[in-house]
Amino acid sequence: MLSRVANAIYWTSRYLERAENVSRMVYVNLHYSLENLSENTGDWFSIIKASGDEDFFLKKYKIHSQENIIKFLITDKKNQNSIFSCVTAARENARTIRDIISSKMWEDINQMYWIVQDFVKKRSALHRPEDFLIRIQECYLAFLGAAESTMNHDEAWHFSRLGRMVERGDKTGRILDVNYFILSSNQKKEESEPAYQALMSKSLLKSASAFEMYRQKYSDITPEKVAHFLSESPVFPRSIYYCTHQITVSINAICTFNNHPSSEQLQEKSDRLLRMVQNKLEKKFSPQMLHQFIDEFQSRLNELDSGIFEIFFSTKIPPDLFQNGSFQKQTSGPCSA
């Protein structure tokens, strides 16, 4: 398949997954902020931290109110990781591959785009964005269903899944890293209360869409168990381990489809990533170790992402131009908004 098309389908997937993650995190936070124990905006700020856009936010907004944070995450056109920017970029990419994805997939993306457009036009909408956030998530789930059932599970499909899994693994890592740090540091007195911890842990689980599935495995909720579940569950489709495993599956499938001469390098890279995740997970980890683990996971994931670009998407540009120095910044693809 065309390199440009592979690149566009990979990034369409990543942007959509990113948009859905932001909408879920904002939704869960809104839900819990209705009955929060403390009145500070610490929880809200953790979403910004998790997105890696802390500096940009601080530069742009003087007041760190819930309102500003929500605006930054949903409609801010300057924030390239806002829902607005991600959905717009996903659609721009999808437009260039309308002939590859199925009509149903395109229509779902298109619908999501028009929902965002309508939302941006309504001035008062930001006060209660819940319905909007739910619609974004529903559209995305419809898109995933369409991708599963209406498209050939061929090379293009694997590029799409690869993009989704890279993005998802990265996001779970970020959510876990930021929240686990807050949870386990017990800076304030009320935050060491078990009730508060349980509420926060629940919120963390729900941010990763993991609460119900976690409950099937564990009866009690502790920060350690939550961390274990989100990082090493072999069956939960958003855990770091699960995503990494699917990444290797898709990379192997792509390499089988296209027989690219240098595809072995990439297979090695993804195998190494999987081994690293497996090895680390076998040990019981402390909060510091968790942070180190996620740090390493993300930098290797970025390396892999550059490798994918270098081998499949570009044949001319030297790869070192595209190395992503800081793992905290999120990468972006063609047609970014």
Residues that bind another protein (CB under 8 A): 1-6, 92, 95-100, 103, 106-107, 110-111, 114, 155, 254, 258-261, 312, 315
Which of residues 216 and 259 has its CB atom nearest to another protein in the complex? 259
Which of residues 114 and 218 has its CB atom nearest to another protein in the complex? 114
Under 8 Å between Cβ of 183 and 201: yes
Which of residues 112 and 240 has its CB atom nearest to another protein in the complex? 112
Question: C-alpha distances in angstroms, 232 versus 193, 224, 276, 318, 327?
Answer: 27, 12, 12, 35, 21
Rg (CA), the chain: 19
Question: Least distance in Å: CB of 78 to another protein?
Answer: 16
Which of residues 43 and 155 has its CB atom nearest to another protein in the complex? 155
**Distant-in-sequence, close-in-space partners of 317: CB < 8 Å, separation ≥ 6:** none
Question: Least distance in Å: CB of 100 to another protein?
Answer: 8
Which of residues 253 and 294 has its CB atom nearest to another protein in the complex? 253
Dihedral, CA atoms, 212, 213, 215, 220, nearest 10 degrees?
Answer: -120
- As a whole number of angstroms, the distance between CA 263 and CA 256 comes to 9
Q: Which two tokens stand for residue 337?
A: 């908004």
Which of residues 287 and 334 has its CB atom nearest to another protein in the complex? 334
Which of residues 6 and 48 has its CB atom nearest to another protein in the complex? 6
Other beta carbons within 10 Å of 128: 10
Q: Write the single-letter amino acid at 37.
A: L
Return the DSSP state at 331.
P
Q: Which helix (H) or strand (E) holds 227?
A: helix 223-232
- As a whole number of angstroms, the distance between CA 313 and CA 10 comes to 10
Under 8 Å between Cβ of 251 and 266: yes
